[in-house]
Amino acid sequence: MNDKKTAIVGTPCQILAATKINEYDEQTGGSPIDLKIGLFCMENFSYTYLKKFLEDNNINLKDVEGFKIEENKFKVFLKNDNPFIVPLSATESFKRKNCDICTDYTSDISDISVGSLGSPKGWSTVIIRTEKGKEILEDAEKEGYFETKHLTDGGKGLLEKIASKKKKDNLNNIMEREVVSRPVLYKRRIADDEIEKISYQCQFENLESDVISEGACVLCGACEYVCPTNIIQIDDRKPQKYGNCEEDCHACYFACPRTYLSKNIMSDDLENKPLGDYLDIISVKSNKIEGQDGGAVTSILMYLLNKKLVDDVFIVGEDEEIPWKPISKLTSDVQEVIDAAGTKYSTAPIGFKALKN
């Protein structure tokens, strides 16, 4: 790879894909991703089925101003009306089913994790996991990008409770799925040398049978990104292959976040740590923007670009023609980062496409 540096903002599965791509750079070609900012994530939504759910409730996405999940409710804020609020359980009809086997709530292998749970209204909860993340947060605070305070014991307790619940519930989902289907590979604990041995025997056909056809594909786009002959494509649907794999190429299988995980990437003991490994947990409020839930992510990205610590950042914008349709993109424009602030709540199905383009 060249010397270009990119910061990625992503859900736990996207962060895991980014980690695997660089861990197995000899097989995948690597990536310029230098900093990983993970998002708290309980589940993700299908844009198509979210749109249908709203239409069934007489809501047009053009009239939606924003979404938010809080107090066990799914809230849709409308431009000219009262918010539409339903119990979180009502989102089952448009929740992506692969989320049922993810046990990572707080993006445990990122440099910095960010979410709203645990902090007061208008603040973000930030989990600092690496020395690189710690240095960035400390310097950005000194530069006045945001203010910080300690997370309360009550806030940390709530965060641990929700993270533990996701781990427990989805481990049960994995066991139930394996009764009627094939093993969920990324939760199979086998020796690291066995992982490499198996992966070196696998190409896209194996990825298709082991992950895609099993309902475990997260649509991150890692397979498309690492394919050296560009025959894998994701266009608002599951990965498809158009052509023949290059002989002795195993890039997609190594990169996928739902194939085997080595202990070097995700250690066994993380399953017993609700919030993963970390250096500190704080609450953050931006001094630069009036952002959703404290604006921490936007402020961090602004700092990285302004200080030229990265060349560009990975954001999720919105399709200009289709309301609330998430589009992944790379940008070095601070104003574009500000404009993209706020959670889209549905999957950006081709996340790594922007990086490849």
Single pTM value for the model = 0.92
The predicted structure's pLDDT at residue 55: 95
DSSP 276-297: -S-SEEEEEEESS---GGG-HH
Sign of CA dihedral 286, 289, 293, 295: negative
The predicted structure's pLDDT at residue 316: 81
pLDDT digits over 147-172, tens only? 999 999 999 999 999 999 999 999 99
Mean pLDDT of all residues in 276-302: 89
The predicted structure's pLDDT at residue 345: 60
* Nearest-angstrom CA–CA distance, 43 and 356: 26
pLDDT above 80: residue 197:
yes
Residue type, 246: E
Mean pLDDT of all residues in 213-233: 94
The predicted structure's pLDDT at residue 43: 87
Of 65 and 22, which is predicted with more confidence? Answer: 22
The predicted structure's pLDDT at residue 269: 87
pLDDT above 70: residue 343:
no
* Encoded tokens for 244: 């023949």
pLDDT above 80: residue 38:
yes
The predicted structure's pLDDT at residue 185: 94
DSSP 16-74: HHHHHHHHTHHHH----EEEEEEE--S--B-HHHHHHHHHHTT--GGGEEEEEEETTEE
pLDDT digits over 253-272, tens only? 999 999 999 998 998 888 89
The predicted structure's pLDDT at residue 319: 75
The predicted structure's pLDDT at residue 294: 67
What lies within 8 Å, CB to CB, of 86 at 6+ separation is 73, 74
What lies within 8 Å, CB to CB, of 135 at 6+ separation is none
What pLDDT band is residue 134 in, cutting at 50, 70 and 90?
very high
* Nearest-angstrom CA–CA distance, 29 and 138: 33
pLDDT above 70: residue 210:
yes
pLDDT above 60: residue 348:
no
pLDDT above 60: residue 347:
no
Q: Within 230-339, where are the H helices?
A: 251-255, 296-306, 334-339
The predicted structure's pLDDT at residue 85: 95
* Nearest-angstrom CA–CA distance, 310 and 82: 41
Are 75 and 258 spatial neighbours (Cβ–Cβ below 8 Å)?
no
Determine which of 42-46, 57-61, 217-221, 344-348 has the lowest per-residue pLDDT on average.
Answer: 344-348
What b/e readout covers 192-221, taking b as 16+ CB neighbours within 10 angstroms? eeebeebbeebbbebbbebbbebbbbbbbb
What pLDDT band is residue 285 in, cutting at 50, 70 and 90?
very high
Determine which of 65-69, 84-88, 270-274, 315-319 has the lowest per-residue pLDDT on average.
Answer: 315-319
> What average pLDDT does the structure give for the chain?
91
